[in-house]
Structure formats: C-alpha cells, structure tokens
Amino acid sequence: MSGSAPAPVSLAATAHRLPERVMGAREIAALSGIPAEIVAGRFGITSKHVAAPDQHVSDMAVEVGSALLTEHGADPAAIDAVCYFGSTYKDFPVWHVAPLVAHRLGATRAFALELDYVSCGGPVALRVCRDMMVAEPDLQRILLVGAARESALLDYANQRARFTINFGDGAVAALLTRDPTGPQVLGSAAITDGSLALQVKVPVGGSARPWREGDCRPHLDVADPVAMKERLDAVSMDNFTAVARLALERSGLAAAPIDLLCALHMKRSMHEALCAALEVPGDRAVYLEDTGHMSGVDTLLALDRATRAGRLAPGDVALLLAAGTGYTWAATVVRWPDA
C-alpha cells in the first residue's frame, strides 16, 4: 500500500556448511604443545573443521548460499543484495569477494555489499542489512553469506597468539525478507575499544610493512599478549553485557529473558561466566565446542543449529553476541513471533 510502513524485517532462513576435514583436540595439542585435556577443557574445543588448500571463502560462501536458496526454493534472480560478512582473509588481498559470490549464485540483479568486521560480523551484518531494508522499502530480499578459513593463518608454535588455536573454518548464510510472520530482526548495539586496534593482526602484507620475498608465511600475531589480556580482562565482560542489554532495550525487550544465547566461541570459563552474567541457563546457550571459532560465522551458525534442532518456540528471544578484534563487541536480537 502506498505510503504505508514497510513490513518488519524477518530472518526467513539460515544454513551452514563445514569443510570435510576435522582436526581433533589431540592433533591441535600436538601442533601447539598444549595438552589435549587443556585444549578440550580450558579452550573448549574438542574439534574443528579445516578447509582444503583449494577451498576458498568464495567457494564456501557460494556453497552455503546455494544450499540455502535451494532448500527454501528461493530464486537467486529475486535477491536484491548479497552481503558478505565473513573473514577478511579471502582468495586475494585487497579484493571484494561479494560480487563473485553474487555472480556464481546467479543473483544477477543484486548489488554486492561487503563488511569487514571479522569476528563480530554476524550481529553487525544483521544490523546493517536490517537497517538498509528499513530505510529502503524497495529492498525485499537480502542474502547474507559469511565464510572463514583463518586456520591457514595460524602458527601453532607462536606462544603470543595461542588464543587462536580454536580458529577453524566454516560458512553460514541467512536470508532477510519482509515476512511479518517470520522471526523478526530487532535491535542491535555495539561498543568499540580502539586502544586494542593494533594488537591482533597479520603483521606483513599491508602498506605499513609490505610483504617482501623471503618473509615468513603470513600468520596472525599478537603485539603484546600481556597488555591485551589485561585490557580484555578489565572490559570484555562489561562490554558483552552492555551491548546485550542495550540491544534488548532497543528491541522493547529490556525485561524479557534470553531464551537462546548464540555467542561466538570463546574459552569455556568465559562462556560460562557470560551465561551467568546474562542469566541464561547453560542449556539455553549454544557452545560450539566441535567447530571452534570461525570469524564472523559463529553466531548465525549457532542459530541455524538451534532452529534445526527445534530449540526455539513462539515468542522466544534469541541473542546473537560476538566480539571482533579491533576490538568491537556487538549484539543483535531476533524474536520468534507469538503463535
């Protein structure tokens, strides 16, 4: 109807895919020198998936996007935008992967959007794409795809970056539409602490230090692990809870319980402390101990697993919660409609 408000933005569908190769805790232990019981217990990772050498984020994004469209009978030519929000470690440096994904999917009328938000990419992508649809009523369908293969950037012997041993590979897709009867994407929030901006990075290959012949293989590194840990210990829990509560408040759900917590993979003690701080029972949270951390993929992959397992009922509130190096903490709320 002309002049009427656009329909609410719905999370119409999700899908995920994981590479075939599985790396177990014992293999991670052998590479890192960290005992397997600590890898599984303290780091909270029993296994993770690792992409093949010729399996790039473009391939994984196309595979999961195609699976979602096929499963739900969606015409790729009807997609208005394709948004890539996964790892910044892509097929090529200084390169935009979203146009290739849209092309290979057959989304011929979609424009391409790319968000470089690393590990907080899931909640941020939902926020950005929802807000685009609210602002532009002619946008009817946006396909979000994210993929990670950051396992290739790990140096397991690097003690400074030992927190990265849980980094695995995988892909997820989500379809946003204007279905008023579907799960509604509601409020979001984010906090950034730029004092941590230079801590985690691949230190070569950019203009600050161009890659030169003879340089070692590029890998993730931490500039000052002690300083980073001290700062994160001081602010991380408060920032997680602050963005969670603000996202719920912006959704009109400040007093509502969180029925499902979909957080990025973190060490087990931090996950349990976060559940306690948000008053979420352990059985109402998804913990990705069999996949580890997959850049921006975690939260939507956790939600896809939960929905396929029938863990969400009418009226339930799901919170997607993540933090990305830089450091940004982000949250987005999705609410299932009442019966």
What pLDDT digit, counting tens, does each position of 167-207 carry?
999 999 999 999 999 999 999 999 999 999 999 999 988 89
Q: Which domains does the chain have, with CATH numbers?
A: 10-180 (3.40.47.10), 185-335 (3.40.47.10)
Q: Would you say the pTM of this structure is higher than 0.85?
A: yes
- Of 97, 252, 89, 232, the closest CA to residue 167 belongs to 89
Crossing angle of helices 225-250 and 268-277, rounded to 10°: 30
Q: What is the mean pLDDT of residues 101-113?
A: 98
Is the peptide bond between 327 and the residue preceding it cis, with omega within 30 degrees of 0?
Answer: yes
Whole-angstrom Cα distance, residue 151 to residue 156? Answer: 10
How confident is residue 4, by pLDDT bands cut at 50, 70 and 90?
Answer: low
Residue 94's Cβ-side half-sphere holds a number of Cα atoms within 13 Å equal to: 4
Contact 125, 85 (CB under 8 A): yes
How confident is residue 2, by pLDDT bands cut at 50, 70 and 90?
Answer: very low
Whole-angstrom Cα distance, residue 239 to residue 113? Answer: 28
Helix (H) or strand (E) holding 107: none
Write the pLDDT tens digit of every residue in 35-87: 999 999 999 999 999 999 999 999 999 999 999 999 999 999 999 999 999 99
- CA dist 198 to 122, 195, 201, 227, 298, Å? 22, 8, 7, 12, 23
Q: Position of tokens 């060490």?
A: 267
Q: Is the pLDDT of residue 128 over 90?
A: yes
Out of 212-216, 242-246, 300-304, pick the least confident: 212-216
How confident is residue 6, by pLDDT bands cut at 50, 70 and 90?
Answer: low
- Of 337, 3, 304, the closest CA to residue 172 belongs to 304
Write the pLDDT tens digit of every residue in 218-244: 899 999 999 999 999 999 999 999 999
